[in-house]
Structure 1
């Protein structure tokens, strides 16, 4: 199905014109000739650079970003482009979340549209049409760029931490595992639950709430999330859903640079990095840069565009569920260890195969968000003595996740992520190879809550674990390049 639900020739011209640069009425005239300027607009679309020191281009970007923040904060409160109004689309510090999508198939698409129209407001208010939001590659640069720490700067903001440090959620093993997942739905869930949520929690204060866009680092953090999706989809040749329900989901509350309402459907968002902006590529995990997005020829871009527009029939198929525990109250300061109903022998064929035909996820589902989110949770396999001091370099470590947001008593109905998956396939294989997962004994799973700042604010806080178990799912095969 065509993502734009237009005749094929119109769709081709939509690519040529660039998303939102001209109206469809002008596309018809472009078909008659004179497309050179429109093609040039695509080739010269704004560059989103990765934040680092020593780059004049990055410094110029930060200067423009700082000016945009100042100008947005100076706008009247009733202006939908104002700093607070833009943040309120996402949520508020005290009231939770509003229109943002978390824990849904539109985590990527909603936030991509959100960033694009915020970027256009910045362009309009500063007069810098070439401005692209910078992104914070916390995998390569754990500390925030100094521009976000300068006293008195509009980019500075109260925070609990200005670095993600050595947290394993952002390390090469974690990011490599996540980016190697070829299924859109499990890739999205892992990227959201692990590095995305953990960054919000570590930075803390406003960033740990629905009002997180009040902190200028939010937009650089989500730029990295968006870049990871673009890298996965464009550079690594993975497919987004072509399901009409996903494609035709529409949002009508964003505004353009002049404050005019715009309407955007999810199905156009995968094309935005080809039409409206481009990323300065950088390494994430073990994935370097197979495609330099700044040097794509028009033909290369059209070939990529055709593949992305086509998408695939992506589903999260579950071959087998292995329950471990359900409806169990947990105390935050007490690690949990539970045996499974499956022995390693039941997984021998999977664990002894080098081919990734199936994956094993640890699936953790809670009844609701916690009352405080100053912690993240590490997952171990076959290590009953695991605790907060157990290093993530331990062979039993599988991964981690964090809660973004807290439970409120306001009765808000906004869906938020309370279920998580951690890909434990390689951990199980390592344990099996090293004789630490015996075929005559059941596997065990450990959940260890770790405070971000050294101690829990509410150590006796209880969480209701709704379900804990393993999920075995077939690998979704990526498309061939181009």
Structure 2
């Protein structure tokens, strides 16, 4: 069984194996396929039209399936690798361990945002940004620029206390747990982290930055925590809802998975919550 660990608890060997597996997926072109898929969905998901990966109830099961597929791709390279998660309520500054040169590298330089250290720096010629939103082919970040702050544990706990998964109008205007976690309402959890990192993380091509996977693993863990806290609160909507993915509807781009299939993450992996 795959166990996803807090990135702060990874050994030096675990960090290296993870980054080596990511670099191998990049070398083969597989990594960019994930970036392309995510970008296509974030561009097509709209509040008033068909929406699958974002701004909708299926935001959480869609990304759970997306991360699982990426994790399986990593494990095809190295069976010992699991996705780590980044608890940004604790590791809150650009000096946190995940931004060190032995893992993800740090923030970008002031002139153009280019990340200059770590395994994903452009200078190593191993991580060129191919799925671009502009002409720049290097990883960019601006950690905490403009005095931005990451969400706090108190803000997370307030969202985890919400009892209803989602509700009409089933988009970025909805109340309920999903939309508050996604970040269009209230404390702005998920979306705020993308903006705090900056660079490609602030775009539809956000998986270009490997921290995307650690951020979303934590979002997925928070969903798992919410499910454990509210066992009587189901995924909604259950059926007959235009433009969104109901409980038993197929989630594009896959033809074999529904939200119902993704409700129990323990069939695939667990989270190590040890501090």
TM-score for the superposition, normalised by structure 1 = 0.42
Report the secondary structure of 1:264's partner residue.
coil
Larger Rg: 1
- The match for 1:277 among 269, 272, 275 is 269
Deviation at 1:236, TM superposition (A): 5.1
- Please report the RMSD computed on the Cα atoms of aligned residues, expressed in angstroms: 2.7
Report the secondary structure of 1:158's partner residue.
coil
Q: Does 1:113 align with 2:61?
A: no
Deviation at 1:179, TM superposition (A): 0.8
Report the secondary structure of 1:174's partner residue.
helix
Flag the structure with more relative contact order, 1 or 2, with Cα contacts below 8 A and sequence separation at least 6: 2
Match of 2:135 in 1: none
Question: For the Cα contact (< 8 Å) 1:89–1:98, is it kept in 2?
Answer: no
Question: For the Cα contact (< 8 Å) 2:239–2:248, is it kept in 1?
Answer: yes
1:233-272 equivalences under 5 Å are: 233-235=227-229, 237=231, 239-241=233-235, 243-244=238-239, 246-251=246-251, 253-254=253-254, 263-272=256-265
CA distance in 2 between partners of 1:134 and 1:149 (Å): 16
CA distance in 2 between partners of 1:226 and 1:165 (Å): 27
Deviation at 1:61, TM superposition (A): 3.2
Report the secondary structure of 1:105's partner residue.
coil
CA displacement 1:51-71 (0-9 Å, x = unmatched): 215x43xx4432222112111
Question: For the Cα contact (< 8 Å) 1:115–1:219, is it kept in 2?
Answer: yes
Question: For the Cα contact (< 8 Å) 2:42–2:53, is it kept in 1?
Answer: no
Deviation at 1:163, TM superposition (A): 8.8
Match of 1:187 in 2: 177
Higher helix share: 2
CA displacement 1:110-150 (0-9 Å, x = unmatched): 00000001100000022x1x422001000121135122116
Match of 2:112 in 1: none
CA distance in 2 between partners of 1:48 and 1:217 (Å): 15
Count, aligned residues = 218
Q: Which ranges of structure 2 fall in alignment gaps of 5 or more residues? A: 46-51, 107-116, 122-126, 128-138, 167-175, 241-245
Label 1:214 to 1:224 Cα distance change in 2 as closer, same or farther (>3 A): same
Question: For the Cα contact (< 8 Å) 1:47–1:131, is it kept in 2?
Answer: no
Report the secondary structure of 2:256's partner residue.
strand
Deviation at 1:282, TM superposition (A): 6.0
CA distance in 2 between partners of 1:122 and 1:51 (Å): 16
Q: Which ranges of structure 1 fall in alignment gaps of 5 or more residues? A: 1-44, 77-81, 255-261, 284-482
Q: Does 1:66 align with 2:16?
A: no
Question: For the Cα contact (< 8 Å) 2:163–2:230, is it kept in 1?
Answer: no
Q: Does 1:131 align with 2:94?
A: no
CA distance in 1 between partners of 2:146 and 2:193 (Å): 7
Match of 1:232 in 2: 226
CA displacement 1:149-193 (0-9 Å, x = unmatched): 1624138942011699872x6113211211111111101110111
CA distance in 1 between partners of 2:190 and 2:34 (Å): 20
Question: For the Cα contact (< 8 Å) 1:164–1:203, is it kept in 2?
Answer: no
Report the secondary structure of 2:82's partner residue.
coil
